[in-house]
Amino acid sequence: MIVKKKKHIENNTLQMRSVYTVGQLAAHWGVSTKSVYRLIKRGIIRPCVVLRKYLITEDEAARVLQESI
């Protein structure tokens, strides 16, 4: 019988980052989802693509806002 050992991962090494979907980011910024998709298409927002869905990290959203000021 083969027994596989479980790898131990310390809790302090993993960080959960806040992410927004396109709809959540649009609601947060008070714009339409079409506007967010347009910013993604132009390369202004750099999303992560997970299972064919765009996810925008909190850091990326802050970067876009900071650069637009």
Going along the chain from its start, the domains and CATH numbers come out as: 17-68 (1.10.1660.10)
Q: What is the mean pLDDT of the chain?
A: 86
R_g of the chain computed on alpha carbons: 17
Over residues 25-53, the pLDDT tens digits come to 999 999 999 999 999 999 999 999 999 99
Report pLDDT for 44.
97
Report pLDDT for 65.
95
Q: Give the list of residues 6+ apart from residue 55 with CB closer than 8 angstroms, or none.
A: 19, 20, 21, 47, 48, 49
**pTM of the full structure:** 0.74
- Tell whether the model's pLDDT for residue 63 goes beyond 70: yes
Confidence of residue 15 (pLDDT cuts 50, 70, 90): low
